[in-house]
Structure 1
Amino acid sequence: MAFRFWCGECGFKTAWLAESEGAKRQLEHYAKKHPGILAGGHVETNRRNPQGSSGCLQAAGILVLLLILAAACRH
């Protein structure tokens, strides 16, 4: 599952990331832009497009291209 963290002080939001990476980026944002304020805001989850799903799609695409190249080289 992918997560996006929103700042409670401004309009900042992270990209869709793993939960730990998103939390880290939100803390870094607060340290830079809002020093002395505890990190707040909300977390959005993306269940329709979980992180890593595009990796399978890319692997399938590469496999199809390799099959096409192999078939073309046989003739």
Structure 2
Amino acid sequence: MVYRFWCGECGFKTPWLAESEGAQRQLDHYKKQHPGILAGGHVETARRNSQGRRRIGGLACLKVALLLALVLIIAAAYRR
């Protein structure tokens, strides 16, 4: 999962990052732009990896494996 942290004081938001890196960037933003104010805002989550591509689920992998097995069986049958 990836996270995007939003500042509670202004429009700043982090890019989609791992949770620890996003939290650190939000803290760095507060130290620089809003000194003396405790970090606030909200966190947005996405069920994607950090490159933004969706992960292939187990069922999709099973379908691909079955399709490949079927193609191999057909190819073996026509080879005789």
Residue in 2 that maps onto 1:21: 21
Residue 50 in structure 1 maps to residue 35 in structure 2: no
Instruction: Find the aligned partners of 1:46 and 1:3 in 2 and give their Cα distance.
Output: 6
Which structure is larger by alpha-carbon Rg, 1 or 2?
2
**Structure 1 residues not aligned, in runs of 5+:** 57-75
Residue in 2 that maps onto 1:5: 5
Segments ≥4 residues shifted beyond 6 Å: none
Instruction: Find the aligned partners of 1:25 and 1:32 in 2 and give their Cα distance.
Output: 11
SS at 2:36's partner residue?
coil
TM-score, normalising length: structure 2: 0.62
Instruction: Find the aligned partners of 1:5 and 1:33 in 2 and give their Cα distance.
Output: 15
Q: Let me know the Cα RMSD of the aligned residues.
A: 1.7
TM-score, normalising length: structure 1: 0.66
1:13-57 CA-to-partner distances (Å, cap 9, x unmatched) read 00000000000000000000000000000000011x232564x8x
Instruction: Find the aligned partners of 1:51 and 1:40 in 2 and give their Cα distance.
Output: 23
Aligned length: 54
**Structure 2 residues not aligned, in runs of 5+:** 56-80
